[in-house]
Amino acid sequence: MIETVGVVGAGTMGIGIAQIAAQNEHQVIVYDHSEAQLEKAKSGLEKVLNRLVEKERITDSEREKIRNRMVFTPKMSELWPCGLVIEAIVESIEIKHQVFQSLEDIVSEHCILATNTSSLSIASIGASLKIADRIIGIHFFNPAPLMPLVEIIPSIQTAEQTTTVCKNLISHWGKTVVLCKDTPGFIVNRVARPFYGEALRIYEEGIADFTTIDWALTEIGGFRMGPFTLMDYIGNDVNFAVTESVFKAFFYDPRFKPSFTQKRYAEAGYFGRKSGRGYYNYDDIKLNPKPLTDKALGEKILNRILSLLINEAVDAVFMGVATVKDVDLAMTKGVNYPKGLLKWGDEIGLDKILKQLQELFDYYGEDRYRPNPLLRQMVQENKQFYEN
Ligand SMILES: NC(=O)c1ccc[n+]([C@@H]2O[C@H](COP(=O)([O-])OP(=O)(O)OC[C@H]3O[C@@H](n4cnc5c(N)ncnc54)[C@H](O)[C@@H]3O)[C@@H](O)[C@H]2O)c1
């Protein structure tokens, strides 16, 4: 039984994770090396809790209990009573190594040490520990209290017991837990790449403009946001950095090649919503063009992006990154896709997906369109991912 949860880093993710743990009746110790950041996190949390009371999601007395369960400290040594510490500091392997080494001198030998990293390998973080079988990735999505998905990533060092305890605990916190191999991008940030990359490619080829591509994905595909609206929402700087890091981590596999268009938008400071200008203009929305609502073109765009997404989901299963069920859960709960991609593939027909990929591959002769061997095999054997 884990009573006390420690959170290292009181930034965007850390404070959200701390809130979830406190709402789930843990004593929570939030440590950050910056006192100013601790103050900011505390007042930010206060606002969140007040809003929850206003919306009648929690009562006054629950708010009081949550507050009383939380301690904010600039001293790492105060983390000593923790049974689990989740690290959410800056995304730097050197700094994470230092922090985990110091942490290990403070906590008991039974304390599980988790990282919320989005892009670093869990094995490399674990390498800084004396007892490495307690390392694990617990990857929350932003905003952590609202997003239902958590990817749990045991590394090659992780003890089975560590994984089991974390899986049970995070499920108990009401989250949808998926298990994932310690591979670049885990599930969501790997499988989702073509949603952005292929949309950018279609634009670069002059097949359609941003708004028509977004229209195809939302109106015909049922996605909540089109790729360009979503990239503007995430920030082109952030989204480009993730794409670049996944591309490098996959030893420059052309499937993950970043786009010059996005690089230029990021370089120009056209980050999206937060800078008032991205693919769209947010300062003056009247300037944004209307989509060309041509159904045949829309379907062509959707099918192309969708077949690449499905191919990526199949690859995650083929490479043992996650199960069919977890890949589908990750994309519906982590990025709100209207359907699990493998289920969607079954519904469209895996043979049709294969045919579409094969056509793209034949036309472009590029590896990014190569159909996954598992997809070929399933079509050959007339199989589906789900029983009807
Ligand atoms: N922001 C996201 O959308 C998101 C989503 C999932 C995972 N992540 C991952 O979570 C981690 C944190 O991201 P974030 O967006 O919350 O960052 P952030 O910049 O908002 O917060 C980081 C916090 O860590 C503190 N910090 C930095 N170095 C420290 C150290 N040596 N010791 C103690 N505290 C230190 C900083 O003062 C800051 O408060 C990263 O690994 C990131 O990749 C981020």
229 in the same domain as 86? no
pLDDT at 190 over 80: yes
User: What is the DSSP code string of 234-251?
Assistant: H-HHHHHHHHHHHHHHTT
pLDDT at 366 over 90: yes
Neighbours of 310 (CB within 10 A): 27
Give the tens place of pLDDT for each residue, 44-96: 999 999 999 999 999 999 999 999 999 999 999 999 999 999 999 999 999 99
Q: What is the domain count for the chain?
A: 2
CATH number of the domain encompassing residue 113: 3.40.50.720
In the numeric block, which tokens belong to residue 204? 């670069």
**CA 319 to each of CA 312, 355, 374: distance values in angstroms, whole numbers, following the listed order:** 10, 22, 9
pLDDT value for 237: 93
Of 179, 209, 234, the position where a domain reaches its end is 179
26, 104, 116, 118: the catalytic one is 118
Task: Name the residue range of residue 172's domain.
Answer: 4-179
Neighbours of 362 (CB within 10 A): 9
pLDDT value for 1: 86
pLDDT value for 55: 96
CA of 296 to the centre of ligand 1 (A): 44
40 in the same domain as 170? yes
115 in the same domain as 94? yes
254 in the same domain as 174? no
Neighbours of 208 (CB within 10 A): 21
- The amino acid present at 157, given as its one-letter code, is Q
Of 136, 155, 179, the position where a domain reaches its end is 179
CATH number of the domain encompassing residue 349: 1.10.1040.50
209 in the same domain as 174? no
Give the tens place of pLDDT for each residue, 223-272: 999 999 999 999 999 999 999 999 999 999 999 999 999 999 999 999 99
Give the tens place of pLDDT for each residue, 278-309: 999 999 888 899 999 999 999 999 999 999 99
* Residue whose CB lies within 8 A of the most ligand 1 atoms, among 20, 31, 32, for a mutation test: 32
Task: Taking the CA atoms of 185, 191, 192 and 196 in sequence, report the sign of the dihedral they define.
Answer: positive
Of 144, 179, 214, the position where a domain reaches its end is 179
The SS3 call for residue 297 is helix
pLDDT at 388 over 80: no
147 in the same domain as 58? yes
85 in the same domain as 172? yes
Tell me the mean pLDDT in the region 120-130.
96
Identify the residue whose C-alpha is closest to ligand 1 atom 39.
11
pTM (two decimals): 0.95
Give the tens place of pLDDT for each residue, 96-114: 999 999 999 999 999 999 9
Give yes or no: 61 in active site.
no
What average pLDDT does the chain have? 96
Distance CA 382, CA 337 (A): 26
219 in the same domain as 344? yes
CA of 14 to the centre of ligand 1 (A): 7
In the numeric block, which tokens belong to residue 347? 């519904």
51 in the same domain as 155? yes
244 in the same domain as 128? no
Distance CA 85, CA 100 (A): 10
197 in the same domain as 74? no
63 in the same domain as 26? yes
pLDDT value for 86: 98
Helix ranges, the chain (H): 12-23, 35-54, 60-69, 93-106, 122-126, 160-172, 188-191, 193-204, 210-215, 227-234, 236-249, 260-267, 295-318, 324-334, 341-348, 350-364, 373-380
